[in-house]
Chain A
Amino acid sequence: MDTLLKTKDVAFAYGGNPVLHGVSVSLRWGEVLGIMGPNGAGKSTLLNVMSGVMPPSSGEVLLRDLSLKDIPHRERARSIAIVPQETHIPFPFTSLEIVLMGRSPYLPRFGFESKEDVGIAMEAMRAVDCNEFAGRDIRSLSGGERRRVIIARALAQNPKALLLDEPTSFLDIRHTSDLAKLMRGLAKKCGMGVACVMHDLNLATSTCDRIVLLKEGRVAAEGAPSEVITPEIIERVYGARITIGRDPDSGRQYCIPMHE
C-alpha cells in the first residue's frame, strides 16, 4: 500500500520541553492507524505535527511526496483534516455553521457557501448522526453531541487524511461503535487514511489495521494489533498487566486489565 502521510524523523518541543524525539511513522491510503501510548507520550503532539498545525522543530512531514511546509495552507486543508481533543466555542454559532466552516478551504476568497456546500455539510452531519442539531446553538449541545459536530466539520473538509484525537471520549457505546464503523468505512470504501489517537485497547484491536505505540516521545512498537497488544509489550510500555483472551464466535482478540 502507498504512503499518504509520513513523518520523517520529526522532533518537537514546547518551549524548552522536548516532546517528540525523531519519530517516523507513515499513514497509508485506506488504512486505520491507531496512535497509542501512556499519558504524556506525545500522541496529540504527533497528530498535530502530522496535520501541519504545528511545524516540527526538526525532520519533516510529507504529504505524498511533498513537504507540508511547501504546501499552501488552504490546499493542505483540503487534504488533511483534524478533530482536536477539545474545542471551546465561545459564540452562538449554529451546528450547521460550524460544519460549514469545514468548507472554507474550498470557498473563493470572499465567497459564501453554495447549495452544494450545504448539501455536503448536511451529509457529513448525517454520517455522524448529528443532522438533527443543524439549527441548534452549538453551546447548548452536550459534550458528545458537540464532538460529533466537530467530526462532521472535519468530514466536510473532504480530506484524504483524517486525523482524530481521542474522538470517542464523551461518546456513549452506540456512538463509539458507530464512529469505529465510520472510520473503517472511510478507509475501506473511500480509501482515506485515518489516524486516530485512542486509549481503549479493545476498541483499537477491533478498529485499527495497524497501531503505533509511543513512549516518551519515541516509537516503542509498531504493527498489527495482535502483534502490538501483547502482555509483554503492554507491560514494557505502560507498566500495566493485561491478559489476552479470544472471543470464541468471532475469533477476535480482547484483553482484560489485571489488577493485583
Chain B
Amino acid sequence: MEIEMRSHLTSRRWIWINAGLLAFLIASIAFALFLGSEEASLRAALSGDERAYAIIFVSRLPRILLAALVGMALASAGGAFQALLRNQLADPFILGVSGGAALGAVAAVGAGLGFTLQSIAAFGGAIVSMLAIFNIGNARRRLSPTTLLLTGVIFNAFCFALILFVNSIVTMEEAYQILFLLMGNIEPMGMGTIAVLALCVLGGFAMLCACSWRMNLLAMGDADAASMGVNVARLRAVVFIAASLMVGAAVAASGLIGFVGLAVPHIMRLLTGADHRLLVPASGLAGAAFLVLADAAARTLLMHTGYATELPVGVITAMVGAPLFMILLRRQQKTI
C-alpha cells in the first residue's frame, strides 16, 4: 500500500507541490526587488520617497515581472514540447523554435514595427519552425534524438543566416536592438508591453495546464493515446499553438534565452515525477522563479567590479543549462 501511495500522483500532492512552488516564486520576486546596486526600502517607497519608489516600482518591478513571465513561458513550453515530441531533450531553443521566433521578431524590427506586431511575427516564426521541425523529424514516425538535434542545428543555422542578413541592411539603431534580441536580455519595459506579454503567457499556460491531463497519454505515442480515448490531432494542435504562442511572445520580449525550457522540466521531473499533470504547472512556476533569480544574478554579479554593469541573463542560463544538457545527452545515449 505504501509503494502505491508514492508511485502515483494524488490531488493532495498536486496541490501541495504547486502551492510550495508558488510561495517560492513570490519569495524570489520579493528577494529580487530588494537586490540591486541602489539601496531602496519598500517602506521608503511606499511612504512617498520618490527615488525609492522609482527604483522599486518603475525600474525593478517591471523587469522582474518580465523575467517571471518569460521563465514561465519557456519552462512550461519546454515541458509540453518534450511530451509532444516524446523526447526529454526537446527545448524551444535547441529545437530551433526560438530561432524561428527570433527571425520573425528581427524581421519585424527591421520593418520598424512595435512590440505587439513583433510578438505576432515571433509567434508566426515559432509556429512555422515547429511545423517544419515536426514534419522533417517525424518522417520515420519516431523522433530520434539525433534527427531532432540535427534538425534543430540546421534550422537554427538557417535562421541565423537570415537574421544576419536583415541585420546588415538595417540602420545602426535597429541593428543594436537586434543584437540585444540575440543575446537574450531582460530589459525594463513599459507596463503596457508587459500586459500584452502576460496575456499571451498566462493564456498559453492555462491552455497547457488544461492539456496536461492528456499529455501523459500523448507521451505513450499517438496510437496508444488514441486507443485510450484521446483525440490526438486536436490535442496536438492545441499544444502546438499554445506553446508556440508563449515562445513567440517570450522571444519578442527578451530575445534568445537558452536552456530554461530544457533544464527546468528536467529538474522538476527528477523532483516530482513524470506525470505531466504536475510537471507542466510545476515547471512553469519553477521556471518563473529560476529566471527571476538568474536575472537578479545577472544584474548584480558584476556590481562591485570594474567591468560592465550587467550580464545578459542568457549568459547565466546557458552556463547552467549547457553542462546539464551534455550530461542528459550522455545518459540518454546509454539508455537507448
Does B229 sit within 8 A of A, measured CB to CB?
A: yes
**Contact across chains for A101 and B7 when beta carbons are under 8 A apart:** no
Contact A102 B228 (CB under 8 A): yes
- Looking at B88, B219, B226, the one whose CB has the most chain A CB atoms below 10 A away is B226
A238 within 8 A of B: no
Given contacts A90-B86, A90-B87, A91-B88, are A113 and B231 in contact (CB under 8 A)? no
Q: Is B224 a contact of A94 with CB atoms below 8 Å?
A: no
Across the interface, do B229 and A77 meet the contact criterion of CB distance under 8 Å? yes
Chain A, interface size category, equals 35 or more
B residues in contact with A94, CB < 8 Å: 7-8, 273
> Would you list which residues of chain A between 40 and 83 have a CB under 8 Å from chain B?
48, 51-54, 73-78, 80-82
- Name A96's contact: one of B8, B142, B228, B269 (CB within 8 Å): B8
Q: How far is the CB of A61 from chain B (nearest CB, A)?
A: 13
Interface residues of B in 54-93 (CB under 8 A from A): 82, 86-88
Tell me the nearest residue of chain B to A86, going by C-beta: B221
* Chain B stretch 217-246: residues in CB contact (< 8 A) with chain A: 217, 219-221, 223-224, 226-231
Interface segment out of the listed B9-17, B41-49, B149-157, B170-178: B9-17
Q: With A53-B227, A90-B88 in contact, do A112 and B4 touch (Cβ < 8 Å)? A: no
Is B231 touching A84 in the complex (CB atoms < 8 A)?
no
The answer to whether B219 touches A91, judged by C-beta atoms less than 8 angstroms apart, is: yes
Contact (A73, B226) CB under 8 Å given A89-B220, A91-B219, A109-B213: yes
Instruction: Identify which of B4, B87, B223 contacts A122 (C-beta below 8 A).
Output: B4
Q: Is the CB of A97 within 8 A of B274?
A: yes
Chain A residues near B (Cβ < 8 Å): 48, 51-54, 73-78, 80-82, 84, 87-98, 100-102, 104-105, 109-110, 112-113, 118, 122, 134-135, 139, 157
Q: Name B residues whose Cβ lies closer than 8 Å to a Cβ of A.
A: 3-4, 6-11, 14, 82, 86-88, 142, 210, 213-214, 216-217, 219-221, 223-224, 226-231, 269, 273-275, 277, 335
